[in-house]
Amino acid sequence: MSLNWKYQESFADRHIGPDEKELQGMLKTMGVGSLDELIDQTVPPAIRSKEPLWVAGGWSETEALSALESIAAKNQLFRSFIGMGYSDTQTPLVILRNILQNPGWYTQYTPYQAEIAQGRLEALLNFQTMIMDLTGLEVANASLLDEGTAAAEAMALAVAQYKGEGKGAFFVSETCHPQTLDVVRTRAQPLGVEIVVGDHRTVDLSAKKYVGGLVQYPATDGVVHDYRAFGEKLHAVGGLFIVATDLLALTLLTPPGEFGADVAVGSAQRFGVPMGYGGPHAAFFATKNAFTRIMPGRIIGVSEDAQGQRALRMALQTREQHIRREKATSNICTAQVLLAIMAGMYAVYHGPRGLKAIAERVHGLTVLLSRGLTKLGFTATHEHVFDTLRVDATPPQVRAILSAAEANRMNFRRIDERTIGLSLDEVTRASDVESILSVFAGGKALGFSMDELGQGIDSPLPASLRRTSAYLTHPVFNSYHSETEMLRYIRRLESRDLSLTHSMIPLGSCTMKLNATAEMVPVTWPQFGKLHPFAPSSQASGYRLLFEQLEGMLAAVTGFAGVSLQPNAGSQGELAGLLVVRAWQQHRGQGHRDVCLIPSSAHGTNPASAVMAGYKVVVVKCDESGNIDVADLRAKADEHKNNLAALMVTYPSTHGVFEEDIKEICAVVHERGGQVYMDGANLNAQVGLTKPAEIGADVCHINLHKTFCIPHGGGGPGMGPICVASHLTRFLPGHPVIATGGNDGIGAISAAPWGSASILVISWMYIAMMGGDGLTRATKTAILNANYIAERLQPHYPVLYRGKRGRVAHECIVDLRPLKKTTGVEVEDVAKRLMDYGFHAPTVSFPVSGTLMIEPTESESKAELDRLCDALIAIREEIREIEDGRMPRDNNVLKNAPHTARVITAPEWNRPYSREKAAFPAPWVKEHKFWPAVGRLNNVLGDRKLVCSCPPIEDYLPPEPSKAA
């Protein structure tokens, strides 16, 4: 036999679902001769790229991992004592292995379908409870993107609740972290809010109309101020008192809620989440009940299911941007769910005693270090500290100490030419303190031991600043401290959640594709995870090379000249792109342009982001085919031509079609002085076939958590870098600590210079393994899979929109509205019934109410596509039973779905269909059944009686037997 010694395994074959045989069968079903013929029928010729996409890569998994190892090796891991909101931490291995490295946790979707997301919802409820307990406030959300963003959202909340005239001014203490101040400034400027920076002890709050004030607790240089007097003065002038704080410190310090704070924000990073050169990290936001309905982000609340059983859900969903649009209080549409879950589980694992012990050790070592520095003749500026010291020295001493620290592979913070900052953390030990002191001693013998130094050590914090209230008293934080119990708890929650490990998640515009193991493994390499974001650039050469290569890849895919990797969510990418356009308009003397055109079909974050960027939203109509109404666009553009700033457009459209007139649409805007912002949510249908720059866009953001395989993690992390044309590159976002961005860059969008840097390795791996040919093939297959589903479902459910030649793009919308008239069946009923078949529902009622938007992605095989189609077709037959009068309109398998094990095994069964039909409606369900944890949620009850922390233990008792059926 002949041997194929040139064979090389193809990652693209692993990533893409249908093999060649399946592909041919699908094409035959659609009556198409080839995949290229289908693409020709789908993508307008006018926008097709003339040349194939060239991106270096096409490597095997082994080759790509080897190349990335070489890049990672260029990063140098020094012990960082920099602080500034980032601390080294120890991720408990039971959490590392069973959550961060577990696709059962990182491939889940946002928990809109609560019945199959109870495990994740409980983990997030734990996080909220932890935040509320530690901050001493009444309500918390389920995380935000980073500390800077959370502070900016708090500023926006203060503006929203202000009852006076105008936007007012907002005070920021000069002892806040510099990156937080910069993000707040960036967000305030387009809103017309004046930022005043100063000393909270001396500021005259009567001089301006202050809507609020922000302080850091402990301050960036370590001092623990008593802010009570400042808070009282702020309240006296009608402002909100906002405290950026540290969760570990709050186990020892008086919580903000107990000294009058209205809002507390911060980062949960040091609760077991690696620094990762800046992210991803879960921020927290806690406030008073009075501000619940204008608080940004998501809230997990407690309700009941149809059987009266306790059940969790996302509460107050009318706050979501796709409903409120330009009236939304924030453009935040995602969070840091996976990282919030890790932080919450860290608290569950350690419990209140464990957290306090860690905090006391960190605090004790800090006091020990302060004592040692005093013995060496140095002065720590502040006595009242938790984990950070500000050390005075002469300029020559500062230079010598920093140089010696670097020589000993340590990073200290240079606050100014006469001051050094030192921050300790969970992994600091007495040997580290000794090493720091040796640097300050100039290499000379210390003359004392750590044991001698630590004799009689006590906290210097006054009684007024020490915490006396209890926290984390709920049983969940006091029950799982052995690894055995913790492992079982994590697995128990995981079993209540449907993820990509069970079945496809066919959500339109959400692109729930394969997150390959080879892409995920490097995220937890220490060379990427343990680097402080403000470490000297010389220690981050590997990251810099990774950024440079990834920026080049994304530029090649989009056709643009410049890239910023800083935005750490799609919503932040939208805001960054619009602010770049705004800066460009101002630079050319057109700062008065403030109108943003947005199609009626747009994602809700688009108008929310436009308002945040200081624009007035003008809505453009769509025609009956779902396309932008070009005549209406032209009329609106003419009407506002003197003030037109931008058009925001999604392509292919949110209706799932390639609009034929897209180049004309872009030209209309350009001719009237505007710029075209392309929402990159649907880039999965463009890669390798066309490019935003070639279509006519000036800027786009890319959802790396969609097209480029960063997993959703149950609602985050995400990354939303922006790509811009050459004339906009000089305005790309900068950063106050590490130089990045354009020469005239807008302020920081995210707290870290490159956003959630550690997860950029996922997209780098994906592109490197796919190469240009593989990426193009993936796009073609995504379009194939969507059209195959549309073809199979068309006889049963009308496909609402199609392109000029009868094809959909990478997603399709099926119309269920006629069924409501004939049977009373709502789209929600179909979504819940799909759970009984083992599927997560497609996108419900967006962008058209009463429809399902289905996006299969390229990763799903024909067998899985057929399984979904068979389920939907079977459900259509169940609906027909209602149409024919064989089943009542109000008591049938759809109205009662989903069916839980509790319901199916109840002693009594009085429904007009069998238990088998309820629970096992398809052959594959009999082979492997995923049981919804609870029955259909009572959403009205949950909103009317909002509970967003862990209920008393009595509430966990099962309902009375009479309620179980």
Residues 6+ apart with CB under 8 A from 353: none
For residue 236, the surrounding DSSP H or E stretch is helix 228-236
- Is residue 146 within 8 A of residue 279, CB to CB? The reply is yes
Of 451, 557, 725, give the one whose Cα is nearest residue 57: 557
- Is residue 483 in some structural domain? no
Over range 553-567, report the average pLDDT. Answer: 98
Q: Where does the pLDDT of residue 952 fall: very low under 50, low under 70, confident under 90, or very high at 90 and above?
A: low
Q: Cα(755)–Cα(718) distance, rounded to whole angstroms?
A: 10
Q: Given this model, what pLDDT does residue 619 score?
A: 94
Domain identity same for 660 and 744: yes
Domain extent for 342:
114-292+319-349
- Is residue 551 in some structural domain? no
The phi, psi pair for 744, rounded to 5°, reads -120, 40
Q: Given this model, what pLDDT does residue 328 score?
A: 63
Going edge to edge, which strands form the sheet with 419-423?
A: 79-81, 410-416, 419-423, 388-392, 379-380
Q: Cα(521)–Cα(61) distance, rounded to whole angstroms?
A: 11
Of 441, 407, 358, give the one whose Cα is nearest residue 536: 407
- Is residue 35 in some structural domain? no
Q: Cα(681)–Cα(358) distance, rounded to whole angstroms?
A: 42
pLDDT above 60 for 551: yes
Take residue 435 and report the two structure tokens written for it.
């090493």
Q: What dihedral do alpha carbons 103, 109, 113, 116 form, nearest 10°? A: 0
For residue 646, the surrounding DSSP H or E stretch is strand 644-650
CA angle 37, 39, 41 (to 5 degrees): 75
Q: Given this model, what pLDDT does residue 945 score?
A: 65
Take residue 68 and report the two structure tokens written for it.
């990335």
Q: Given this model, what pLDDT does residue 45 score?
A: 96
- Is residue 506 within 8 A of residue 701, CB to CB? The reply is no
Over range 127-139, report the average pLDDT. Answer: 98
| Range with the poorest average pLDDT among 65-69, 388-392, 444-448, 834-838 | 444-448
- Is residue 74 in some structural domain? no
- Is residue 677 within 8 A of residue 698, CB to CB? The reply is yes
Q: Given this model, what pLDDT does residue 521 score?
A: 97
Q: Give SS3 for 909.
A: coil
pLDDT above 90 for 892: yes
Over range 152-170, report the average pLDDT. Answer: 89
Residue with tokens 């130089």: 739
For residue 401, the surrounding DSSP H or E stretch is helix 395-407
Take residue 286 and report the two structure tokens written for it.
């806690």
650-679 pLDDT per residue, tens: 999 989 999 999 999 999 999 999 999 999
- Is residue 139 within 8 A of residue 295, CB to CB? The reply is yes
For the residues of 541-584, what is the DSSP string, one character each?
HHHHHHHHHHHHHHHHHHT-SEEE----SHHHHHHHHHHHHHHH
Over range 193-212, report the average pLDDT. Answer: 96
Domain identity same for 330 and 387: no
Average pLDDT taken over every residue of the chain: 94
pLDDT above 90 for 6: no
Take residue 88 and report the two structure tokens written for it.
């080294």
Percent of the chain scored above 70 by pLDDT? 97
Domain identity same for 614 and 665: yes
- Is residue 627 in some structural domain? yes
Q: Which residue has the higher pLDDT, 945 or 38?
A: 38
- Is residue 934 in some structural domain? no
Q: Cα(158)–Cα(151) distance, rounded to whole angstroms?
A: 11
The phi, psi pair for 211, rounded to 5°, reads -85, -20
Q: Cα(935)–Cα(899) distance, rounded to whole angstroms?
A: 6
- Is residue 751 within 8 A of residue 592, CB to CB? The reply is no
Q: Given this model, what pLDDT does residue 164 score?
A: 75
Domain identity same for 236 and 208: yes
Q: Give SS3 for 614.
A: coil
Domain identity same for 187 and 249: yes
For the residues of 438-468, what is the DSSP string, one character each?
HHHTTTS--SS-HHHHTTT------GGGB--
Domain stops at, among 416, 445, 465: 465
- Is residue 52 within 8 A of residue 690, CB to CB? The reply is no
pLDDT above 50 for 432: yes
- Is residue 553 in some structural domain? no
Domain identity same for 125 and 224: yes
- Is residue 666 in some structural domain? yes
Q: Where does the pLDDT of residue 960 fall: very low under 50, low under 70, confident under 90, or very high at 90 and above?
A: low
Over range 591-618, report the average pLDDT. Answer: 92
Q: Cα(414)–Cα(392) distance, rounded to whole angstroms?
A: 11
Quote the pTM value: 0.96
pLDDT above 60 for 320: no
Percent of the chain scored above 90 by pLDDT? 90
pLDDT above 80 for 747: yes
Q: Cα(511)–Cα(679) distance, rounded to whole angstroms?
A: 14
The phi, psi pair for 595, rounded to 5°, reads -105, 130
Q: Where does the pLDDT of residue 961 fall: very low under 50, low under 70, confident under 90, or very high at 90 and above?
A: very low
Number of domains in the chain: 4
Take residue 473 and report the two structure tokens written for it.
């008293």
SS in 3 state form for 361-420?
A: HHHHHHHHHHHHHHHCCCEECCCCECCEEEEECCHHHHHHHHHHHHHCCEEEEEEECCEE
The CATH number linked to 825 is 3.90.1150.10
The CATH number linked to 342 is 3.40.640.10
Domain stops at, among 435, 465, 495: 465
Q: Given this model, what pLDDT does residue 964 score?
A: 38
Take residue 749 and report the two structure tokens written for it.
């969008």
- Whether omega for the bond prior to residue 898 falls within 30 degrees of 0, making it cis, is yes
Domain identity same for 181 and 221: yes
Q: What burial class does residue 456 get, using C-beta atoms within 10 Å of its C-beta: 0-12 exposed, 13-18 middle, 19+ buried? A: exposed
Over range 162-179, report the average pLDDT. Answer: 91
340-358 pLDDT per residue, tens: 999 999 999 999 999 999 9
Take residue 8 and report the two structure tokens written for it.
């090389």
Q: Given this model, what pLDDT does residue 348 score?
A: 98
pLDDT above 70 for 329: no
Q: Given this model, what pLDDT does residue 963 score?
A: 40
Over range 264-282, report the average pLDDT. Answer: 98
For residue 864, the surrounding DSSP H or E stretch is helix 862-883
841-864 pLDDT per residue, tens: 999 988 899 999 999 999 999 999
Domain identity same for 287 and 202: yes
Over range 131-153, report the average pLDDT. Answer: 97
Q: Given this model, what pLDDT does residue 324 score?
A: 58
Q: Where does the pLDDT of residue 962 fall: very low under 50, low under 70, confident under 90, or very high at 90 and above?
A: very low
Q: Cα(944)–Cα(191) distance, rounded to whole angstroms?
A: 32
pLDDT above 80 for 951: no
pLDDT above 90 for 616: yes
For residue 529, the surrounding DSSP H or E stretch is helix 526-529
Domain identity same for 744 and 843: no
- Per-residue exposure over 690-715, b if at least 16 CB sit within 10 Å of its own CB, e if not: bbbbbbbbbbbbbbbbbbbbbbbbbb
Q: How many CA atoms lie within 13 A of 514 on its CB side?
A: 20
- Is residue 250 within 8 A of residue 135, CB to CB? The reply is yes
Domain identity same for 288 and 143: yes
- Is residue 827 within 8 A of residue 844, CB to CB? The reply is yes
Over range 501-507, report the average pLDDT. Answer: 96
Domain identity same for 893 and 844: yes
Q: Given this model, what pLDDT does residue 603 score?
A: 78
| 34 C-beta neighbours (distance < 10 Å), count | 11
Q: Where does the pLDDT of residue 942 fall: very low under 50, low under 70, confident under 90, or very high at 90 and above?
A: low
What percentage of the chain's residues is helix, strand, coil (to nearest 5)? Answer: 45, 15, 45
For residue 373, the one-letter residue type is L
- Is residue 224 within 8 A of residue 253, CB to CB? The reply is yes
Domain stops at, among 411, 431, 465: 465
Domain identity same for 618 and 681: yes
